Chains A and B, each alone.
Chain A
Amino acid sequence: MARRKRAARPPRLALGTIAATGLILSGCGDEPATDAVYNTPSECAASGVDLQICEAEYQQALQQHLQNAPRFDGQAACEAEYGEGRCLSSGNLPGEQQTDGGTGSFFLPFMTGYLVSSAIGNLSSYAAYRNYRSSPSYNYSAPIYQNRAGQTVTSATQGGQRVSRPVNVNTRTVARSGFGGRSSGGFFGG
């Protein structure tokens, strides 16, 4: 066949069906996200997680943040991206958090919170946490900060560049049913 207008491989369904039985469809190995965002270790502990775990994870997130957050040579450049008063200099960090001693200081966005996975939030004791942390399934709590638009983001590496990506955070809903009111006909496709 010289030309072919159809895809070489037949379409498949990852879930086998479009009759969505559950409301959550996740890729293989993905847990439905029930992760929680806390601004501080004490807020984390107040939600019922062991305080020691909350503190250890906060430090983990902070270390990750220092390693992975976008870096800027000057405060102005950083603030242009993340907003006024939202950046700090690595030189101002307490010694134990310095990851980059001697190579000169840089600016990075403030970490405003961290995303604690449900796997960690459900651990019953610090001892269980220590075990979990040495297991291959351990994932550190992701550092959270805000971009200029007020969007909650975390750091990721993309093509060798440090970039910010939005994440879903927990909040409190104050109203619903503000869309869909014109749906009495019940059909919108066309």
Chain B
Amino acid sequence: MIELTDVHVRLGQRDVLRGVTATLAERRVGVVGANGSGKSTLARLLNGLVLPTSGSVTVHGLDTRRQAARIRRRVGFLFTDPDAQIVMPTVAEDVAFSLRRKGLPRAEVERRVREVLAGHGLAEYGDHPAHHLSGGQKQLLALCSVLVLEPDVLVMDEPTTLLDLRHSRQVAAVLRGLPQQVVVVTHDLALLRDFDRVLVIDQGRVVADADPRTALAHYEAMMS
């Protein structure tokens, strides 16, 4: 469970979030909003990449301000641009890199890497240079590198923005099958249609918080 209590975030001279309070317990939570509305900052709050200027954020009872390292072990984060999160030159090495601080035996690391790559259509690309993959495959690789750690919560910041329709659908299908809680910030409204709950952010405030149909209707009306 994620709890945001009267969260304010001020970056430089700008109030990015103003008094956000929400308890996120649903399995699929979407966040939409215009560019600059504060939704990416909201996502970054959930694993301590951004700390609240005032108020608090807790994930499973852990406070992001005091226990960020522990939270990051439980909250996976997927960014928009996979190129910025792939660290190792080859596909299998990048996934294995996520596990290096777990102290697992090499055979176990290789087994987990093989398993997660196979589960996401990348089994035959293990020794491929990561930069030779297509944009969609890179995003799937970034997702594998997060999922191999079996996080309790997965936060995604516009995961399909750079993808074509086929790869967007592939990511959406992966999302539907994930057992963990997922929070997705996106402009891709179709992705959120079967979610449990959607928050609409505008100028740093939650202006709608409802089921997808109601929330997205509010968002579309707001943007027209």
Determine if chain A interacts with chain B. no
